[in-house]
Structure 1
């Protein structure tokens, strides 16, 4: 072991790299310690269990996939935002093969409440971002949303379509963009 200490971010970065190279099964305390060049105890200074390490790794993968774009204009236009999101889904699928399906199915099990909570927080954040964009988009006609058909409900529909695209591994947003055009403009 070369180092005595490391950082939480370095641990998470090494965990993400292990996933890229070897898949989810490679992430464990010992393998991450080796990848970081530290002792197992150094990892336990930051994560009290493998479940905590995996949960934090999942969160860091989501953050990498959906990091804020340099061009904030993406959040001014619904179509641009959807196109960006589908591009990020494709990026995530290529960088972390199986991530979307493996971790979401694994964390839906009862024994993984922290991972499930982190996944749901990320999904809620994505839904809130969609609502934010829908409410800011000046191209949406003023009567598009009503008391029954709200921006929040439409964001839920859009998000469901994105999750469906993940399962199909279909990262072409054209069908969703057509729904947006026909419904809102």
Structure 2
């Protein structure tokens, strides 16, 4: 029993001999708020800034996860009419084509003269809306019923809901039977527009 007590006494003596460093007020407050040894003042400041930003989003009536914040900051490049009530789920934030890109893609597809376009993975409707704005009739297919509702809602905001048929379904099963301009976004890396006839 005596050996363990001696070690504890030595540890206490070492602690007493240490010099106490003074800290600026903010560091002291952060140390009190985040006493973990692995939580440095720099990390704490970043955490506080992020938390404040998140609280501002909540106060504004929009709750977004930390995974979506960087996309939320670019919301007007995704949908220029975002403030009019655009609806998206978490996946929609990082899978929707930015509006300017979708506009350019719709213009490029206009060169092949198709009248009907199928957006096989329409998500929340970003590409479908831009095709409809260019005068195409669009069949927008999405396997997730919630995203289909968001797409319909977003098309109404842009005033093109009459030019788009939103369908809940599996595009990969339907694709072999189509004879229209297919708009595919497989893997979201290779974007191509081609005539399937």
Same fold (TM over 0.5): no
Q: Which has the higher contact order (CA 8 A, sep 6+)?
A: 1
Determine which structure has the larger helix proportion and give its number: 1
- Higher Rg of the two aligned structures: 2
Determine which structure has the larger strand proportion and give its number: 2
**With structure 1 as the length reference, what TM-score do the two structures score?**
0.30
**With structure 2 as the length reference, what TM-score do the two structures score?**
0.29
